Amino acid sequence: MRALVISDIHGNVHALDAVLAAAPAHDVVWNLGDVVGYGARPNEVVDRLRALTARHVRGNHDRVCCGLTPPQGFNPVAAAAAVWTKETLTDENRTWVRAMPKGPVEVATNVLCAHGSPLHEDHYIVSMRDAWAPLQRMEAGVTLFGHTHVQGNFSMLVNDWEEERPRYGRKEGEVSARIELTRGTRHLINPGSVGQPRDADWRAAFAIYEEDESQASVTFHRTPYDVAAAQAAIREAGLPERLAARLSSGK
Ligand code: ZN
């Protein structure tokens, strides 16, 4: 079984299309939320997702952009984008976003999908300090999560703790990094953000989860996309300039 794991698309259909084109053949898509907010193509993103064989969990931006919760705690740029997105979504797509389930959702035996943390959908797991409690308390060996827009893996085997960021080879075109999931080890794995990466790499991020009877693995990927087109769409929509500018730095 092979799943394409995506998160934090944030209305960036240019990045999503690049990911769907670059991803190896897969049986299902697992989407970790924040499909809209920030980017200028929310309807196109939702249309693409609706056409996929997929499991979804909602993100905090999804909730605000369909009016489920107020933009409390959002900075002015995020709040402005949420208001614009709410007005721009078609009724049908807004209804679809509103119906996205709250995480964590069990997508396979021993595998959960969450937006923030398996303990709370809005918690940020940035460092091992944040990962410690969920790793101890989560009910599955593997939780896939998003929200921070940073690709990586936190793992725990009894008293052994490890934090990894994928390292990509220097060879041109070498854009994936693989980790084996060993039995008994607990993992919190972030595929990174499709539409607004914040780990200093502008390329769209995603991951592939693979399992058979004997083993499981996650492979991290990056793929280039048409950043200029995504930026032009943001400027054309009159969204804050910062949302366009940050895409080329990946910060
Ligand atoms: Zn996000």
Q: Domain containing 29 — which CATH number?
A: 3.60.21.10
Centroid of ligand 1 to alpha carbon of 190 (angstroms): 12
Predicted pLDDT of residue 139: 80
| pLDDT mean by block of 10 residues, the chain; 251 residues | 98 98 97 98 98 98 97 95 98 98 96 97 96 92 97 92 85 76 93 97 96 93 96 98 97 91
Cis before 104 (ω within 30)? yes
Predicted pLDDT of residue 177: 86
Task: Report the chain's C-alpha Rg in angstroms.
Answer: 17
Q: Where are the beta strands (DSSP E) in 159-236?
A: 160-164, 176-181, 186-190, 204-211, 216-223
Predicted pLDDT of residue 167: 81
3-state secondary structure of 109: coil
Directed axis angle between helix 91-98 and helix 42-50, to 10°? 60
Tell me the pTM: 0.96
Predicted pLDDT of residue 172: 61
Predicted pLDDT of residue 183: 84
Determine contact, residues 55/31, Cβ cutoff 8 Å. yes
Determine contact, residues 12/196, Cβ cutoff 8 Å. yes
Centroid of ligand 1 to alpha carbon of 13 (angstroms): 15
Determine contact, residues 65/114, Cβ cutoff 8 Å. no
Centroid of ligand 1 to alpha carbon of 229 (angstroms): 20
Centroid of ligand 1 to alpha carbon of 87 (angstroms): 19
Going across the sheet that includes 2-6, the strands are 54-56, 28-31, 2-6, 204-211, 216-223, 176-181
Count: domains in the chain: 1
Structural domain containing residue 61: 2-248
